[in-house]
Structure 1
Amino acid sequence: MAEEKVVQYDEDSIRSLDWKEHIRLRPGMYIGKLGDGSSMDDGIYVLLKEVVDNCIDEYTMGHGKQVEITIADGSVAIRDYGRGIPLGKVVDVVSKINTGAKYDSKAFQKSVGLNGVGTKAVNALSSYFKVTSYREGKAKTAEFEKGNLIKEHKEISTSEANGTAVFFTPDNTVFKHYHFIGDYVINQIWNYCYLNAGMAIYFNSKKYVSKNGLLDLLTNKTSPDELRYPIIHLKGEDIEVALSHTGDYGEEIYSFVNGQHTTQGGTHQQAFREAYVKTVRDFYKKDYDAADIRQSICAAISVRVQEPVFESQTKTKLGSITTYENGPSMKSFVLDFLSQELNNYLHKNTAVAEALKKRIEQSERERKELSGIRKLANERAKKANVHNRKLRDCRVHLNEEPPAKNRETFQEKQLESTIFITEGDSASGSITKSRNVETQAVFSLRGKPLNSFGLTKKVVYENEEFNLLQHALNIEEGMDGLRFNNIVIATDADVDGMHIRLLIMTFFLQFFPDLVRNGHIYILDTPLFRVRNKQKTIYCYNEEEKQKAVKELGNKPEITRFKGLGEISPEEFGRFIGDDMRKEPVLLSKDAHIQKLLEYFMGKNTPARQVFIIDNLRIEKDLAEDTAA
């Protein structure tokens, strides 16, 4: 019998990590998931946000009216015109945990960053980090590599205006193959502008500014043609609300705390949803169903709170707050505001009140029309879910309550939760065999889905595949129950695959647009070519990468062109949906209006659409000629 190895547990077993070691060992605890920049919640955007948050806090306290952001060659430069870090503390503020000016709630009354971790995490996770403080005619600079101080410069005289400049390059050993997507950065910048009306942010020399706060946010997120009544804009002390109704399905609510976009909502968003329903019922003196009141709402709420409690370091969800400024609860605070201000507004604007009433009653009629078919469809879905051959589920889901033990690790996995929507048995089989069963699920389509453009939500229940898909995602009652953070459409790159991709995207845009707006929908990018010799295999995603691989391997390597996902073996597929997975986000620009977009691409063949297709269509023959070139 082999001798059993005894593991010693003594003083030598205990190891203390310094701050930068801990951040680098467990970055997910501080910035959520790592990612390569293809998702809006990837770590590189959190690094950017942590630095900009400090600039915004300065502006909020009345110091500095503009922020300058430059991103080039994977590096970020940020300059504010606040008070500047006290020169004697420049090194400490960016390299010592729990060092900052925000703990006494005096210098920074209602700021976002209260834990003293933000810029330290940026420093620790950057291959190079430089901070310069300009303060009262003097400047002080410190340089770091991966959190280690490499040079502390002496104070010098300067004519520069007061403020702080930070330059950093994310560490590519932590953020592998990272790239910044401009649309994501611009979306972050606009949110800062909406919440700080009058402040100017320059991004790569282009100016962004909002004059009307949340009113501008909703104006940019909607089309005047879609609005059922003019946007209602209400402002009070520490609270701002804007709302209207559109013709879209679902609820679209943007919520913010102390300038932080809480993408996962929280107590303030729930308080708004409940307070809005109660205020509307009281105004019309009618007990409308809550779902009818909120159906098609487009709203934004921003609150400012002393010492907010977030559910994670990334601050995407506001936790429980028992009191607001030692006064009423968040629920009472929002209800008191809406019951007075919205009630007054509706009394003064009778045309708006009448339009709102018509929208609610329309939703009520639509819901009742759906109720019968919905019941039958849900019964079918329940039976199918027991042996749902379309869904190969995973173990960790976005909507689950994290366990008390290993909470941070579980939350990291929740952000990685992914469902692949595939077509065809061979492609589904390859992904199913090679996926990570912990965080990756597969939903298999049978042929081309129905073109749902212009159809009512009735079709979601009548069409078995659509009904099973909405149940797999758990979005029938809204986005709060969404089971997967990433919804990845995995179809072939040929004409049929592109058509299926477009039909799936039409389904989401028509009935669940919030999934697209909130950055949950992606297109899986898989290699077009495999280039190999006896020593090495290189997978290439485009013609340029193929030519580079041929040059690298030399001596006429073997080149295989993949025509479909089914041709890629499960062993190979595992490489393309793992840590190095490439996926393209489905993005909507701020001035894109969904119904017009769908009408253009999925409606009748208008002359403009025909010209667009002819000019942009590339058939297999063209691709073959490219390959042979």
Structure 2
Amino acid sequence: MAKKREEYGNESISSLKGADRVRKRPSVIFGSDGLEGCEHSFFEILSNSIDEAREGYGSKIVVTHFADDSIQVQDFGRGIPVDWNNNEQCYNWELVFCELYAGGKYKEQGNNYEYSLGLNGLGSCATQYSSEYFDVTVVRDGFQYDLHFEKGNIVGEMKKTPTTQKKTGTTQKWRADLDVFTDIKIPQAYFLDTIKKQAVVNPGVLFEFVDHTPDGVQKFDFCYENGITDYLKELVGEQGLTGVEYWEAERVGRDRDDRDDYKVKLSVALCFSNRVQISEYYHNSSFLEYGGSPERAVRQAFVSQIDSYLKQNGKYLKNEGKITFADVEDCLCLISSSFSTQTSYENQTKKAITNKFIYEAMTEFLKHQLEVYFLENPVDASKIAEQVLVNKRSRENAEKTRLNIKKKLQGNMDITNRVQKFVDCRTKDVSKRELFIVEGDSALGSCKLSRDAEFQAIIPVRGKILNCLKSGYDKIFKSDIIIDLLKVLGCGVEVKAKQNKDIASFDLSGLRWNKVIICTDADVDGFQIRTLILTMLYRLTPTLIEEGYVYIAQTPLYEINTKNKVYFAYNEPEKAQILEEIGSEKYTIQRSKGLGENEPDMMWLTTMNPETRRAIKVMPEDAERMSQVFDLFEGDDLQGRKDHIANHGHEYLDLADIS
């Protein structure tokens, strides 16, 4: 019976209430219901402690990660007010931990936080709502306050007891709820990275991280007395072209004419290097993964001022184009930390800001500072200009190379561009087309007579191709054999090495074949040629292997003839099994000839007929292991090869061509 559809009427509309507003839709607040969302819930609590420390209340924050994945954040600030609030006629703990959009950062006058990381009054409440349990201990005003929540609801009442403790502050311990998040196992690396970043942009604040691991308790301390300047010096070390500069300024302005003014505090640490490239942006202490206004300001200011310097000093060649930010960025090391009394984040996860005034103020500030810096430091200015031009010209040359290679590899297979000795098939249906890469011209002739010309094409490899693990890309792309193979494949190349990113032009949709079959003689030379072809594909078009397009054609090792039947054995065990089946019957046995000497009927039957051939799909389950094997046999590790031969060579003596 068909399921009855529910009527969509007035009673169909409902709203989430209380803790369900977060527990059933955590992604709205935290950006995700997975590990990333759980990590952000931790950052929300940490942010409130950071706001206290930045205002001068407490100089230490302790984060503890326990073995059961519970987390504790302890600060030594003023302590969150949790007692009775006459203005709101309720307890402050209700506002802070049970009410979204409530907190101490909303008042236009008398705001306790000038530059605040937590703005929306969501973090403490949302994290409490999304926790299995959430414990709060506050020390302030001569009292200790204790609260215990479970799954978004208070359990019991707030405990208020007199204390003689002189140090005020807030301690919050909680365990994220697996009913809310799919994963709560925050890795140590996240804590270390996040806490270190906060130490960088909060000068003089000591951050302690205590991690209870299966191997014992580990402790880490982070403190940067000079903030982003010390951090940049740590990152660049002795690899700078110029020394580290620190610039700061304050501005007042507005995003729109009908909006109120707000304050912006800007600080930047920077230097230039031809070995290190760094760019990190922070606002109100939050790491801006996607940048936003500060990043756009850096792009605009640096391109404008360096381009102006190049023009004024005649550094450009005649008719040379203008630099881009990519040319500057390749040698720029910059940490930006800005603060504002009003902030427009893209969303609650605070990974980018969009303030128009911050962009304008920072652009003007950086342009002015760069102009003065270039005037006062002519030697540094010249170094920077020369390095940016080197980057620009290298990029343009790489782009020309990439386009030439792309054109060379993906050109149309017409008469003028036909690969020598390539024999195409008739069908244009890619799902049926097979390409046989065969060993030498003699094999080409034999396979050409044996194939089904409707869907099987052939390209011969003349001798042993270049070892693509030992050779640089310049040498590889000068090899006619490799270029011919890549032309026939039609999908271009993918170069994963970062320094060669500009020549990657791989497009799987351009592949002209459903199967690429490597077909070589069953001898030592054949095995080596096969390995070299596989190595080439592995380095230049690894996706073809990963996606299962590459095959190895097995050719028989022995031909066994009896009066009534011909048998083919592909290995020694098969040979023994066939001889056992034949029994006392008379037979002749011969080692298989090279591909070029085989009769067409035999080639079709054993190697090319999809119904009777044996073709092994090259589908590495472990790409890293495949890489290690290729590196061992075809790379530069001579000692590794010697050791392998010494340890395992005896296992292959039967295959050695020794007379």
TM-score scaled by structure 1? 0.59
Residue type of the alignment partner of 1:258: N
State the Cα distance separating 1:85 from its structure 2 match.
1.2
Partner of residue 270, structure 1 = 296
State the Cα distance separating 1:233 from its structure 2 match.
2.4
State the Cα distance separating 1:136 from its structure 2 match.
2.0
State the secondary structure of the residue aligned to 1:279.
helix
CA separation of 1:50/1:303 partners in 2, compared to 1, >3 Å: closer, same or farther? same
| Contact 1:470-1:476 at 8 Å conserved across structures | no
Partner of residue 66, structure 1 = 60
Partner of residue 9, structure 2 = 10
Residue type of the alignment partner of 1:332: E
State the secondary structure of the residue aligned to 1:152.
coil
State the secondary structure of the residue aligned to 1:203.
strand
Partner Cα separation in structure 1 for residue 220 and residue 339 of structure 2:
29
Partner of residue 362, structure 2 = 334
**RCO higher in structure (CA 8 A, sep ≥6):** 1
- Equivalent in 302, 321, 345 of residue 337 of structure 2: 302
| Contact 1:95-1:147 at 8 Å conserved across structures | yes
Partner of residue 591, structure 1 = none
State the secondary structure of the residue aligned to 1:93.
helix
The answer to whether residue 153 in structure 2 is matched with residue 159 in structure 1 is no
Partner of residue 363, structure 1 = 391
CA separation of 1:170/1:364 partners in 2, compared to 1, >3 Å: closer, same or farther? same
- Equivalent in 101, 104, 127 of residue 104 of structure 2: 101
| Contact 1:275-1:331 at 8 Å conserved across structures | no
Deviates more, 1:450-459 or 1:152-161: 450-459
- Equivalent in 174, 180, 201 of residue 168 of structure 1: 174
Partner of residue 40, structure 2 = 46
Residue type of the alignment partner of 1:278: S
CA separation of 1:33/1:606 partners in 2, compared to 1, >3 Å: closer, same or farther? farther
Partner Cα separation in structure 2 for residue 265 and residue 351 of structure 1:
31
The answer to whether residue 206 in structure 2 is matched with residue 180 in structure 1 is no
State the secondary structure of the residue aligned to 1:242.
strand
Give matches, 1:226-241, under 5 Å. 227-237=240-250, 238-241=265-268
CA separation of 1:606/1:341 partners in 2, compared to 1, >3 Å: closer, same or farther? farther
State the Cα distance separating 1:274 from its structure 2 match.
1.0
State the secondary structure of the residue aligned to 1:303.
strand
Partner Cα separation in structure 2 for residue 59 and residue 357 of structure 1:
41
The answer to whether residue 355 in structure 2 is matched with residue 313 in structure 1 is no
Partner of residue 531, structure 1 = none
Partner Cα separation in structure 1 for residue 410 and residue 153 of structure 2:
56
Residue type of the alignment partner of 1:349: N
State the secondary structure of the residue aligned to 2:19.
helix
Partner Cα separation in structure 1 for residue 155 and residue 37 of structure 2:
24
RMSD of aligned C-alpha atoms? 4.2
| Contact 1:90-1:140 at 8 Å conserved across structures | no
Partner Cα separation in structure 2 for residue 453 and residue 167 of structure 1:
56
Deviates more, 1:114-123 or 1:4-13: 4-13
Partner Cα separation in structure 2 for residue 281 and residue 252 of structure 1:
21
| Contact 2:406-2:492 at 8 Å conserved across structures | no
State the secondary structure of the residue aligned to 2:208.
strand
Residue type of the alignment partner of 1:372: K
Partner Cα separation in structure 1 for residue 266 and residue 346 of structure 2:
21
Partner of residue 242, structure 1 = 269
The answer to whether residue 203 in structure 2 is matched with residue 197 in structure 1 is yes
Partner Cα separation in structure 1 for residue 232 and residue 396 of structure 2:
29
Residue type of the alignment partner of 1:198: G
Partner Cα separation in structure 1 for residue 38 and residue 146 of structure 2:
23
The answer to whether residue 78 in structure 2 is matched with residue 79 in structure 1 is no
Give matches, 1:414-563, under 5 Å. 468=494
State the Cα distance separating 1:6 from its structure 2 match.
5.3
CA separation of 1:71/1:603 partners in 2, compared to 1, >3 Å: closer, same or farther? farther
Query: How many pairs were matched up?
Result: 418
CA separation of 1:277/1:186 partners in 2, compared to 1, >3 Å: closer, same or farther? same
CA separation of 1:173/1:65 partners in 2, compared to 1, >3 Å: closer, same or farther? same
State the secondary structure of the residue aligned to 2:159.
coil
State the secondary structure of the residue aligned to 2:328.
helix
For structure 1, list consecutive stretches of 5 or more residues without a partner in the other structure: 37-41, 323-328, 385-448, 478-495, 508-563, 569-601, 620-629
State the secondary structure of the residue aligned to 2:190.
helix
| Contact 2:147-2:159 at 8 Å conserved across structures | no
- CA-to-partner distance for each residue in 1:488-531, whole Å, 9 max, x for gaps? xxxxxxxx9xxx9xx99xx9xxxxxxxxxxxxxxxxxxxxxxxx
Partner of residue 26, structure 1 = 25
For structure 2, list consecutive stretches of 5 or more residues without a partner in the other structure: 84-91, 211-218, 251-264, 317-321, 413-466, 504-530, 543-616, 622-633, 649-659
Give matches, 1:591-610, under 5 Å. none
Partner Cα separation in structure 2 for residue 378 and residue 119 of structure 1:
54
- Equivalent in 122, 125, 131 of residue 120 of structure 1: 125
State the secondary structure of the residue aligned to 1:228.
coil
State the Cα distance separating 1:154 from its structure 2 match.
2.3
Give matches, 1:567-606, under 5 Å. none
| Contact 1:90-1:133 at 8 Å conserved across structures | no
CA separation of 1:381/1:605 partners in 2, compared to 1, >3 Å: closer, same or farther? closer
- CA-to-partner distance for each residue in 1:125-179, whole Å, 9 max, x for gaps? 2111111221121121111112111133321112331111100111123334532
State the secondary structure of the residue aligned to 2:149.
strand
State the secondary structure of the residue aligned to 1:184.
helix
Partner Cα separation in structure 2 for residue 171 and residue 372 of structure 1:
54
Partner Cα separation in structure 2 for residue 107 and residue 457 of structure 1:
65
Partner Cα separation in structure 2 for residue 56 and residue 193 of structure 1:
10
- CA-to-partner distance for each residue in 1:551-582, whole Å, 9 max, x for gaps? xxxxxxxxxxxxx99699xxxxxxxxxxxxxx
CA separation of 1:101/1:606 partners in 2, compared to 1, >3 Å: closer, same or farther? farther
| Contact 2:131-2:151 at 8 Å conserved across structures | yes
State the secondary structure of the residue aligned to 1:144.
strand
- Equivalent in 188, 212, 224 of residue 238 of structure 2: 224
| Contact 2:323-2:389 at 8 Å conserved across structures | no
Partner Cα separation in structure 1 for residue 60 and residue 266 of structure 2:
23
State the secondary structure of the residue aligned to 1:275.
helix
State the secondary structure of the residue aligned to 1:45.
helix
| Contact 1:266-1:317 at 8 Å conserved across structures | yes
CA separation of 1:11/1:256 partners in 2, compared to 1, >3 Å: closer, same or farther? same
Partner Cα separation in structure 2 for residue 67 and residue 458 of structure 1:
55
- CA-to-partner distance for each residue in 1:419-449, whole Å, 9 max, x for gaps? xxxxxxxxxxxxxxxxxxxxxxxxxxxxxx9
| Contact 1:263-1:317 at 8 Å conserved across structures | yes
State the Cα distance separating 1:22 from its structure 2 match.
1.9
State the Cα distance separating 1:3 from its structure 2 match.
8.0
State the Cα distance separating 1:121 from its structure 2 match.
1.6
Deviates more, 1:107-116 or 1:213-222: 213-222
Residue type of the alignment partner of 1:263: E
Partner Cα separation in structure 2 for residue 222 and residue 82 of structure 1:
34
Partner Cα separation in structure 2 for residue 83 and residue 193 of structure 1:
20
Residue type of the alignment partner of 2:195: I
Partner of residue 456, structure 2 = none
- CA-to-partner distance for each residue in 1:26-74, whole Å, 9 max, x for gaps? 11111122334xxxxx123212210110011112222111111111111
Structure number with larger C-alpha Rg: 2
Partner of residue 289, structure 1 = 323
- CA-to-partner distance for each residue in 1:589-611, whole Å, 9 max, x for gaps? xxxxxxxxxxxxx997699xx8x
CA separation of 1:103/1:70 partners in 2, compared to 1, >3 Å: closer, same or farther? same
| Contact 1:370-1:458 at 8 Å conserved across structures | no
| Contact 1:272-1:301 at 8 Å conserved across structures | no
- CA-to-partner distance for each residue in 1:529-558, whole Å, 9 max, x for gaps? xxxxxxxxxxxxxxxxxxxxxxxxxxxxxx
